[in-house]
Structure 1
Amino acid sequence: MTAPSTLKVALAQISAVWLDKDRTLQKVLDSMESAANEQAELIVFGEGLVPGYPFWLPITHGTAWDDQIQKEIHAHYARQSVQIEKGDLVQVCSLAKKLKLAVYLGIIERPSDRGGHSLYCSLVYISANGEIRSVHRKLQPTYDERLTWSPGDGNGLQVHSLKNFTVGGLNCWENWMPLARTALYGQGENLHIAVWPGAVRNTENITRMIAQESRSFVISVSSLMRKTDFPADTPHLELILKNSPDVLANGGSCIAGPDGNWVMEPKADQEGLYYATLDYNRVLEERQNFDPVGHYSRPDVLELTVNRQRQHSVRFKD
């Protein structure tokens, strides 16, 4: 283990075994083992990795109303989604504890506290003690994602202590939401995790921008997806392959430092684990001239209120 002021991180730029929860979770476990062998203390996976991103929507007329094809693919997606309450992440938690490895994992969640049928794009933080400390449901699914994902709530807008660092995370385009970022900054975040389905065009600018704005380290992790990654048992595979480009997600995982410069430039098209060691002192150096929620804020003029209650459709008073 490195000194308290430094943190070795692993960026897992891998593809899902698309819409196969069990086999994708096995890739997660294998990646965790590999990262621990390299003395990593935090590993980050891409958005919705388990069981995969809804790539079928824009290439199969996902907006078609009452369409049987869309219903059948969606039902397959739901069957393969993650149900935390039923123990789907128990193995990941157990291995995190064994390896003393913190984990940020992107999942498609089907939570029982919202009835157990709707899907949420969630980012789960598992501590090095193997405990699920937060489940952040994406506040606003982006564009066609709304055809299959539900909007989340503020419950997961939380940060976590990891050695000298304070780490928090957001999913994909909610990283563009200034108030969501501010909610994390205000809790002392200095290591920001941004997870993506996979595209250099998404990560190459915003990663450095958030780093410059927050004077924090920013880790962006993306997945990969190629036409050849669609399994043979995918519903309506012929239609999907007919309209699919050869590459649907090309990665783009990267790290920017608190000055906005690259620690690791975006990595494209290559599956694997990438490593870096971050020095907390760099955060303190860059906060000297700018701190968005500290000495360079005006709470007497501008103040953010955040509702972190987990939202429920039904409340019982027995």
Structure 2
Amino acid sequence: MSHTETEKDGGTSRDSLVIGAAQITPVWMDREATLHKVVQYIEGGGEEGCDLIAFGEALVPGYPFWLERTGGARFDAPDQKTWFSRYLDQAVSLEAGHLDPVCRAARKAGVAVYLGIVERPVDRGGHSLYCSMVYIDKQGEIGSVHRKLMPTYEERLVWSPGDGHGLKVHALGPFTVGGLNCWENWMPLPRAALYGLGEDLHVALWPGSLRNTNDITRFIAREGRSFVLSVSGMLEVSQIPQTVPHRDALVAEDSHEYFANGGSCLAAPDGSWVIPPQCHQEGLFCAEIHHDMVRGERQNFDAAGHYSRPDVTRLVVNRQRQSTLVFEDVDREAQRATE
């Protein structure tokens, strides 16, 4: 067998995983083309023996870079309406089956996937957007959809606040994996919720910037005594498609070569780098991680275990999916049958 194994219950079980950070450039504002690229990376990761591949925040169809560069806060501005209309059109609808090709690819490759999407959910009317983190298991089934709790700064102009429904973890080999979007990773209580669920492999999704991933990745690893995989996107100014509306205004306002320069990395439970931050290049960055390192680091600190004091401080988490509607229809046929 290609991975480290340990003796357990008289048999052999894996004590490691191969995980990969897919740091890629979306075909910005093009859902189908970007999903095609995602599928290709999943297929490639399967060939490399990956158990888990993660992609950056809002990768499909892309991060809303136009907001800070084109006066996104101007009220009732025609160009901002055009941007949003395009964004809404290219967003991901799970109900419409947009992620079906990704699920099929995950099942065929035998790879679990974390994918950052801009979600257009039917259960909120279908015309508002959420920054969502989707987990797809090795069988190609969607295990959770976490909508970002609080969009950051100008993101609130296009993304709506999410809820706690997706604060879940998933068993993956010897590990328990969970994750958060971008600056959610700075929020102590959502991190604590995942720790309490047994997380020991944390996935942090980012739009792409070394300044975001360089410090917090190792901090969370030390706090959680977990492996932490930070995954970023990439986007150069020259890669904004010519077909995007108001492209000239977007590009003219930016003096930098990159909108997003990457920064994907992987930290061990002791805070050391397994994969240091990778910038200015696309690629699938893989490493094998071993659960015995988690177990060793939990000896002196376990945030939700022996170093916690639930008699003093506890966290209450609301995991209801929020909606403006609660239907109380009465099934007349069922009612008559009981009369």
Structure 2 match to 1:259: 270
How far did 1:316 drift? 1.2
Aligned residue for 1:233?
243
Deviation at 1:313, TM superposition (A): 0.9
**SS in structure 2 at match of 1:53:** coil
For 2:74, the equivalent position in structure 1 comes to 64
- The answer to whether the aligner puts 1:193 opposite 2:199 as a matched pair is no
Shift of residue 95, structure 1, vs aligned partner: 1.1
**Cα deviation digits, residues 123-149 of structure 1 (max 9, x gap):** 000000100000000000000000000
The amino acid that maps onto 1:290 is F
2:108 alignment partner AA: K
CA distance, structure 2, for counterparts of residue 301 and residue 313 of structure 1: 35
Match in the other structure for 1:147: 157
* SS of aligned partner of 1:208: helix
Q: Which moved more, 1:2-11 or 1:83-92?
A: 2-11
Matching residue of 1:98: 108
2:131 to 109, 115, 121: 121
**Alpha-carbon offset, residue 314 of structure 1:** 1.1
Aligned partner of 1:299 in structure 2 is 310
1:205 Cα shift?
0.2
Which residue among 274, 283, 290 is the counterpart of 2:294?
Answer: 283
1:166-197 alpha-carbon deviations (Å, 9 max, x no partner): 00000000000000000000000000000000
Give the Cα–Cα distance (whole angstroms) in 2 for the partners of residues 255 and 230 of structure 1: 28
Q: TM-score, normalised by structure 1?
A: 0.99
| 3-state DSSP of counterpart to 2:185 | helix
- Residue from 21, 32, 50 that aligns with 1:40: 50
Contact 2:168-2:178 within 8 A present in 1 as well? yes
Q: State the number of aligned residues.
A: 318
| Deviation sequence 1:226-283 (CA, Å, 0-9, x none) | 1011101101111111112321110000000000111110000011111100000100
Instruction: Give the secondary-structure state (helix, strand or coil) at the position aligned to 2:271.
Output: coil
Q: Corresponding residue for 2:337?
A: none
Distance across 2 between alignment mates of 1:31 and 1:59: 30
1:11 and 2:21 matched: yes
Counterpart of 1:273 (choices 250, 267, 284) is: 284
Q: Which has the larger radius of gyration?
A: 2
Pick aligned residue for 2:173 from 163, 180, 187: 163
Matched residue of 2:281: which SS? coil
Please say if 1:224 is aligned against 2:223. Answer: no
Partner of 2:333: none
2: CA distance, partners of 1:313 / 1:34: 42
Match of 1:248 in 2: 259
Query: Amino acid of the residue matched to residue 5 of structure 1?
Result: D
Q: Which is further off, 145-154 or 240-249?
A: 240-249
Q: Distance in 1 between matches of 2:121 and 2:299?
A: 43
Cα shift at 1:317: 1.4
Q: Within 1, Cα distance between the matches of 2:245 and 2:326?
A: 37
